[in-house]
Structure 1
Amino acid sequence: MNSGRTHGLLYVTASSSPPVVVVAGPIGPGDAPQLCDRVRAAQESAPGDGPERGPTVICDVSGVTSTDLATVDALARMQLAARRAGGRIRLRDPSPKLLLLLRLAGLDEALGSGGQPLGDAEQREPPLAEVQEAVETGDPAV
């Protein structure tokens, strides 16, 4: 494992299958190109998942300290870079806040972090379509 850090970003070079890119610290707007390069390098060092797809790269985001649109943008660009090379990325251990932001942006399933519950059903509000209002026939019009 590489112990040096560059702008809070770390790439694990261990020969794991699938390869793992560890991202730690805050992600700034200028970090996306470097992260994309690391995803492509990880893809090149790993065998493909099959004849029709390139390798999947696991992005461990458990150490990400920023939950903002720059983080979402960088993760989306990493997925785009992986797909252009014939593969994909999957997120490992996103924080609940990051998972929520990805879900709000519509990227949770595209980044492989979908399907995880955000909380108990009792904690969430019902969808607006289920709200019903009773109307009394004798009520005056407003």
Structure 2
Amino acid sequence: MDTSQPLVVTLPARPTREEVARLCAALAAAPPGDVRCRIHPEAYGLPAVDALARLALTARRHGHRLTLDGAGPELTALLRLTGIDQVL
């Protein structure tokens, strides 16, 4: 596996528990490194916040550096409101 390029995962607009579990499993199986999470532009609400919190926790546990790409203004505001933006 080429570790010079970041691992890219995509958060769907309305993530399900199964999708989040699959993304977390991919993070757990990958060697430590940079991870870019592309966020669907229509992702919003508490399911998206929960998914991002789970991804951040899994990434941290496995030595990854997680960056977010494409969070819309509503999701960004909700992340700020919940305080999770400080963790991400």
Bin of the TM-score, shorter chain as denominator length: 0.7 to 0.9
Contact conserved, 1:59 with 1:90, CA < 8 A, in 2? yes
1:34–1:76 distance in 2 versus 1, CA, 3 Å: same
- Please name the residue that 1:105 is paired with: 82
What is the number of residues matched between the two proteins?
Answer: 87
The structure having more radius of gyration, on CA atoms, is: 1
Q: 1:94 aligns to what SS in structure 2? A: coil
Instruction: Describe the SS at the equivalent of 1:72.
Output: helix
Residues of 2 paired with 1:104 and 1:80: CA distance? 19
What is the SS of the residue equivalent to 2:12? strand
**Structure 1, unaligned stretches of length 5 or more?**
1-13, 45-53, 112-142
The corresponding residue for 1:137 is: none
Residues 80-136 of structure 1 deviation map (CA, whole Å, 9 limit, x = unaligned): 11111112311011100110010111011321xxxxxxxxxxxxxxxxxxxxxxxxx
Instruction: Tell me the CA shift for residue 18 of structure 1.
Output: 1.6
Report sequence identity in percent: 37
What residue in structure 2 maps to residue 56 of structure 1?
A: 34
Partner of 2:10: 22
Instruction: Say if 1:36 and 1:77, in contact at 8 Å, map to a contact too.
Output: yes
Unaligned runs of 5+ in 2: none
1:34 counterpart residue number: 22
Aligned-pair Cα RMSD in Å: 2.1
Does 95-104 or 31-40 show the bigger shift?
31-40
TM-score (norm 2): 0.81
Q: Which runs of 4+ in 1 moved over 4 A?
A: none
